Every structure is written in structure tokens, then in C-alpha cells.
Amino acid sequence: MKAREIEEQARKEAEDRKKELELQAKDELYKLRSELDKEYQEQKGELKRYEKRLITKEENIDNKVEIIEKKEKDISNQKKGVESRKKELDERENQLSKLEDEQKRVLSRLSGLSPQQAKEALLSRMRDEAKYEAALMIRRIEEQARETADKRARDIISQAIQRCAADHVVESTVTVVPLPDDEMKGRIIGREGRNIRALETETGIDLIIDDTPGAVILSGFDPIRREIARIALERLIADGRIHTARIEQVVEKAREEMDQIIREEGERTALDVDVHGLHPEEIRLLGTLAYRTSYGQNVLQHSKEVALLAGMMAAELHENEKLARRIGLLHDIGKSVDHEVEGTHASIGAELARKYDESGKVIHAIEAHHGEVVPHTVLAVLIQAADALSAARPGARRETLESYVKRLQKLEEVADSFDGVDKTYAIQAGREIRVILRHEEVDDLGASQLARDIAKKLEEEMEYPGQIKVTAIRETRAVEYAR
């Protein structure tokens, strides 16, 4: 009985174990089937992606084949054009050769010399000229060697004075641009100095990058150029993309923004002195005065002071106060263009006032404020007095800066007078003048000759201590687009 119960229990356990094993087997089978399905789906998706990629590549190849066929056709047409052009050039060359031979025969007949005799005569003349130049140079060197110690001392002192002049005007001719870190200096300089050269060429401002931590110094006598350089450099630093093409774009945008700043400056000044109804161009010219100086005094600030002083004096004398302020604000407007137009700033200012339909009283007072014409109105006399008061206050003017700026402007004018010059920048406190040439008008040999001609004209027309370095830059760019 007991044995049967044990047998029955063993059978029951065996069946339970069997069922458990069957369930485990089914679970394993289900898992394997799920994994196989998942793997199948992944492989199916991968195959679809490969198929799509192959279709795309096939389409790209077809497009490239079409482009290649089109380019081959274009090249074939160009080749035919080149061959016809070559044939035409060969014919012209033959014609020129015949003309050259004919000219040689005519010259030989007229001069009575053969080509070989003419060549020998020319060489002999050049040899004599070279000897003469060498003799002059030897004489000049001997004269310089005989100069006294006093003359040498004067030269050294004059060069020291010139360097000292740059320090005296530094607060009016430099701008400091802060940097986020010193690594930015390397990016501003660029590979082999390309970026800094591009910035200096585009703006005409000298960039000084030294050991000063977290700062770059912009040096230049023209405040407008310096401000454009500051705006452009800050934009480049903030953007992080610093390369030659980007520099040109940013500088151009800075110039446009500078025009807007100048106009806003003129509008704000007119509003400050309560002068209304000005011509838009007069407002722009007034804004330009914010970046001009006269004997170290800001011309726009000076004009504002004159307007307020003239207005107060006119009120005391029961004259037209508003008209006095208007004349005072416009009295130096000629200084905004006096470096571009011939004449004194008083006469230029009177012409501008006449051009923009100002009243006769305004025109007369502007023209008479420096005594170039006799004043015959009370307001004209008041403007003279207000102008003298503003200029005479302590610290208003510094003659050193004014003469310094005029000398640099004269340097640029001399170089600009030559054909083939695109832009001219006086840098290094007037010790160097950088001339940007139009490459299509001046070749490399012409650039060297032009630099010598500019240096010679500077020697003839200007007086300066030390020496001035003339650097002529000719740049050719080739641009193509990959399509």
C-alpha cells in the first residue's frame, strides 16, 4: 500500500516535472522566434536603406555624367574659339613683325645708323650716365661724411622729437579693443599675418598687438577710420570667424553702420541745441564733425558750445536767439569737407549753407566768422566772439595734434595724386605711408617705380624730420566657384 502511494507520488512528480520542462522549452522557443523575427526585420530595414542609397548614388552618377558631357561640349566649343583666336593672333603677329622691320628700316635710313650701331650708341650713352650717377653718389657720400657733429646731433634730436610727437597725441589717435582671451590675438594675426594685413589694408588703421593682456590697440590719425576698425574688429571677435573674406564683409558693414552713427550724432546735436529744419545732408555733415578735431578740440563739441554761447549772448542783446544758435552750430560745417575741397573752411561752409538754402544772414555770418569778409550784422559779430570764447577756454586746443594731423593728410594727398593709386594710408605717426595700387593699371615693375616717384615728390614738397618709408602694395586675386 505504501509502495503504491510512493509510486503514485513519483509518477505525479514526474508529470509535473515534464510539464515544467515543456513550458520552459516553449518559452525558449518563443524567445528564439522573437529574436529571429527582430533580426529579420533589422536586416530587412538595412537592405531597404542600402537599396535607397544605391538608387541615390545612381541618380548622382547620372547627374555627374550629364554635367561632364555638358562641360566636354563647352570645352570643345572653347577649343574651337581658342584655335580661331590663335590663328588671328598669329596673323596679327606677322603683321606687327612686318611693321617692326619696316620701322627699323625707316629709322636706319633717317639716322644713318645700322641697328647694331644704334644699339652700341645707346649702350655708350647709358654707360656714361651710370658713371655720372656714380660720381654724384660718391660726392654725396663724401659730403655726408664731412658733416659736423652738430649736424648729426640735430638729425638725432629731430627724429626724437618726431617720436615724441606720437606719444603726445596718443590719447587722440589710438583706440583700445578688449579681447576675451589672449588666444584671440593669434586668430586676429592669422596664418603668416594674413588677417592683420587684411584688416590694416581695408581700414587704413595700424593694429598693434603686443604683450598687453586682453587688449589690441588701433592706431590711426583719422577717427572715422579708427571707429570703423573698432566696430569691425569687435564684430569679428564676437562672431569668431576671422578670415580675409569675412574681414572684407564686416568692414563694409561697419562702414554702413558708421554712416548711420554719424547721422544719429548730427540729429542728437541739433536736438541738444534746439535747432530744427536742417537739411538731411547738413545733419550728416554735422555728425562727421564729431570725428574731426581742430587744434586737438572736437569740432562738433566746439560747434555746440559756440551755438549755446551765441544763443545766450543774442538773448541778452534781444537778437534772434534761435537764429544765433543755428549759425553757431553750422559755422564750422566747412571743416567736414575741407580735406576734400579747396579753400578755407569758412568759405566752404558758406558755399554749403548756400547750397542747402540757408538764409543770407546765416551764409554771411559763416563766411565772416574768421574775418575773411567784414561782418555787417550783429549776429556775425556774436559768432566771432562765441568762436573765440570756445577756443580760448583752458584745455580746449592743442596745436601739436592739429599740425600732426595736417602733415599726415598732406602725405596721403601727395601719394593720391599719382595715377594707379587706389587707397593711401599714413601710419606709424607719419614715418610710413602705405599705398594700395590698382593691379590692373600698375604692374610689379611699375609699383617699384611708383614708390620711388612718390618718395621723390615727398622730398620735394614736404619738410619732415628723419625719413618716411613708402610701401607700394599690389595685390591680384583670382576667384572661382565650385558648383
CA angle centred on 78, ends 77 and 83, rounded to 5°: 100
Is 315 part of a structural domain of the chain?
A: yes
Q: How far apart are CA 149 and CA 142, in angstroms?
A: 15
| Domain assignment of residue 381, yes or no | yes
Whether residue 289 is contained in a domain is answered as no
Q: State whether 423 and 356 are in the same domain.
A: no
**342 and 430 part of one domain:** no
pLDDT grade for 133, boundaries at 50, 70 and 90: confident
pLDDT-based confidence at residue 213 (cuts at 50, 70, 90): confident
SS3 3: helix
Q: Are residues 386 and 328 in the same domain?
A: yes
At residue 366 the predicted structure's pLDDT band, cuts being 50, 70 and 90, is very high
Do 249 and 167 reside in the same domain of the chain? yes
Same domain, 386 and 451: no
CA distance 398 to 407: 15
pLDDT at residue 326, as a whole number: 93
Residues 357 and 420 in one domain: no
> Do residues 341 and 252 share a domain?
no
pLDDT digits (tens, 9 = 90+) for 251-296: 899 888 888 888 998 899 889 888 888 998 999 999 888 888 776 6
Which residue, 382, 397, 412, sits at the end of a domain? 397
Read off the CATH number of the domain in which 242 is found.
3.30.1370.10
Question: Does the pLDDT at position 393 exceed 80?
Answer: no
| Residue after which a domain boundary falls, among 397, 423, 438 | 397
Confidence of residue 195 (pLDDT cuts 50, 70, 90): confident
- CATH number of the domain where residue 314 is located: 1.10.3210.10
Q: For residue 332, give the C-alpha cell.
A: 564750422
Helix or strand run (H / E) with residue 131: helix 115-145
Which of 183, 352, 391 is closest to 344 using CA atoms? 352
| 3-state secondary structure (DSSP) of residue 119 | helix
The per-residue b/e assignment along 400-433, b for 16 or more CB within 10 angstroms, e otherwise, is: ebbebbebbebbbebbeebebbebbbbbebbbbb
Q: Per residue in 304-348, pLDDT tens?
A: 888 988 888 888 888 898 999 999 999 989 888 866 777 888 889
Which of 66-80, 106-120, 276-290 shows the highest mean pLDDT? 276-290
Mean pLDDT for 219-245 is 84
Task: Give the whole-number percent of the chain exceeding pLDDT 90.
Answer: 5
Q: Are residues 441 and 387 in the same domain?
A: no
The torsion of the CA quartet 252, 182, 166, 392, rounded to 10 degrees, works out to: 70
Q: Write the pLDDT tens digit of every residue in 410-435.
A: 888 888 889 889 888 887 767 788 89
Is the residue at 308 inside a domain?
yes
- What is the distance of C-alpha 216 from the center of its chain? 17
Same domain, 160 and 255: yes
Which is it for strands 297-298 and 293-294: parallel, antiparallel or unpaired?
A: antiparallel
Total domain count, the chain: 4
Boundary (domain end) residue, out of 397, 432, 450: 397
Q: What is the mean pLDDT of residues 441-463?
A: 86
Can you give the three-state secondary structure of 154-165, one letter per residue?
HHHHHHHHHHHH
Predicted confidence at residue 18, as pLDDT, reads 81
In a domain, 127, yes or no: no
Q: Which residue has the higher pLDDT, 462 or 362?
A: 362
| Lowest-confidence region among 232-246, 381-395, 398-412 | 398-412
Confidence of residue 173 (pLDDT cuts 50, 70, 90): low
> Which residue type is seen at 65?
V
| pTM (predicted TM-score) | 0.47
Q: How many CA atoms lie within 13 A of 299 on its CB side?
A: 24
375 with 300, same domain? yes
Asked whether residue 482 is assigned to any structural domain, the reply reads no
Tell me the sheet residues that pair with 178: 215
- Domain range holding 64? 1-98
Q: What CATH number is associated with residue 411?
A: 3.30.300.20
The alpha carbon of 362 is separated from its chain's Cα centroid by a whole number of angstroms, namely: 38
Residue-level pLDDT at 465? 63
| Model confidence band, residue 155 (pLDDT cutoffs 50, 70, 90) | low
Give, in order, the Cα–Cα distances in Å from 411 to each of 297, 426, 458, 464: 22, 7, 8, 11
In a domain, 134, yes or no: no
410 and 368 share one domain: no
**pLDDT bucket at 107, cuts 50 / 70 / 90:** low
d(CA 196, CA 185): 10
**Is residue 14 situated within a structural domain?**
yes
Q: Do 318 and 249 share a structural domain?
A: no
CA 483 to chain centre: 30
For residue 472, what is its C-alpha cell?
607700394
Long-range (24+ apart) CB contacts under 8 A made by 63-68 are none
